[in-house]
């Protein structure tokens, strides 16, 4: 039976950091050959994101994090994933109130947006369009991520954020992405909902207490 020390966040972080170090060394080796430069840079970015996620496991909700920077990092990671998994391309548009900040670690919010973006890409393999919105009113910040996919089947809408709920038939799809989204949002004192829009597509809405506008 494993000892308690092996089950701690600190122990997990230690072991994952060893993995990241190995990947970083592999990226350095690849970068010595020009034809692998793009892959090496992708690995480096993925390692940095993994390190941010690990660091966020021990962080308290202090904030604030700049929404624009969070989105830039989330888009970059999503594009890396889609490029090397031969996924569909995404066209992004943004309509953001200026200076919006979010509570907690930026890595946690990057996870929220990456999961929503990948969900949109997987829902529309012919070419996804994602519209990101952020508005502030009455002490509340409202974030929206809308896509042009086929929408969410009515039969799973009530349980959409529960673990292991998915409409994807691909192997390895465990239906955890939206559950992770909900868990992070709730941890930060917010609420996330999903609904279909007309004539097609789905929109995810996150509401949070306003942390600040620069």
Gap between the Cα atoms of 197 and 152, Å rounded? 10
Residue (of 75, 71, 92) closest to 206 by Cα position: 71
Fold for 62-209, please state it: Heat Shock Protein 90 (3.30.565)
User: What pLDDT is recorded for position 213?
Assistant: 43
CA angle 195–66–51, rounded 5-degree value: 90
User: What pLDDT is recorded for position 35?
Assistant: 82
Gap between the Cα atoms of 211 and 96, Å rounded? 15
User: What pLDDT is recorded for position 15?
Assistant: 64
Q: Is the CB of residue 163 less than 8 Å from the CB of residue 176?
A: yes
Gap between the Cα atoms of 176 and 26, Å rounded? 29
pLDDT along the chain (214 residues), means of 10: 52 66 77 81 81 70 81 90 81 95 88 93 88 94 95 90 66 67 92 93 93 48
Write out the E strands in the chain: 65-66, 90-96, 101-102, 128-137, 140-147, 191-196, 202-209
Gap between the Cα atoms of 185 and 94, Å rounded? 20
3-state secondary structure of 143: strand
Residue (of 140, 141, 124) closest to 132 by Cα position: 141
Gap between the Cα atoms of 65 and 109, Å rounded? 9
User: What pLDDT is recorded for position 172?
Assistant: 43
Predicted TM-score of the model (pTM): 0.76
Handedness of CA 42, 96, 178, 157 (dihedral sign): negative
Lateral strand order in the sheet of 202-209? 90-96, 128-137, 140-147, 202-209, 191-196
């Amino acid at each position: 039976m494993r000892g308690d020390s092996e089950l701690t966040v600190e122990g997990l972080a230690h072991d994952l950091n060893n993995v990241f170090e190995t990947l970083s060394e592999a990226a350095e080796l690849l970068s010595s050959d020009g034809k692998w430069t793009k892959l090496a840079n992708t690995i480096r970015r993925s390692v940095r994101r993994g390190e941010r996620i690990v660091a966020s496991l021990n962080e308290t909700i202090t904030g604030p994090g700049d929404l624009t920077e969070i989105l830039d990092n989330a888009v970059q990671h999503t594009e890396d994933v889609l490029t090397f998994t031969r996924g569909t391309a995404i066209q992004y548009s943004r309509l953001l109130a200026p200076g919006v900040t979010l509570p907690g670690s930026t890595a946690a919010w990057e996870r929220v947006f990456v999961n929503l973006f990948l969900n949109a890409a997987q829902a529309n393999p012919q070419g996804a369009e994602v519209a990101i919105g952020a508005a502030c009113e009455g002490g509340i910040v409202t974030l929206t991520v809308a896509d042009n996919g086929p929408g969410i089947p009515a039969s799973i809408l009530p349980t959409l954020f529960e673990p292991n709920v998915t409409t994807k038939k691909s192997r390895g799809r465990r239906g955890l992405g939206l559950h992770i989204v909900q868990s992070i949002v709730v941890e930060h004192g917010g609420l996330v909902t999903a609904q279909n829009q007309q004539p097609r597509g789905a929109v995810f809405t996150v509401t949070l207490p306003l942390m600040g506008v620069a």
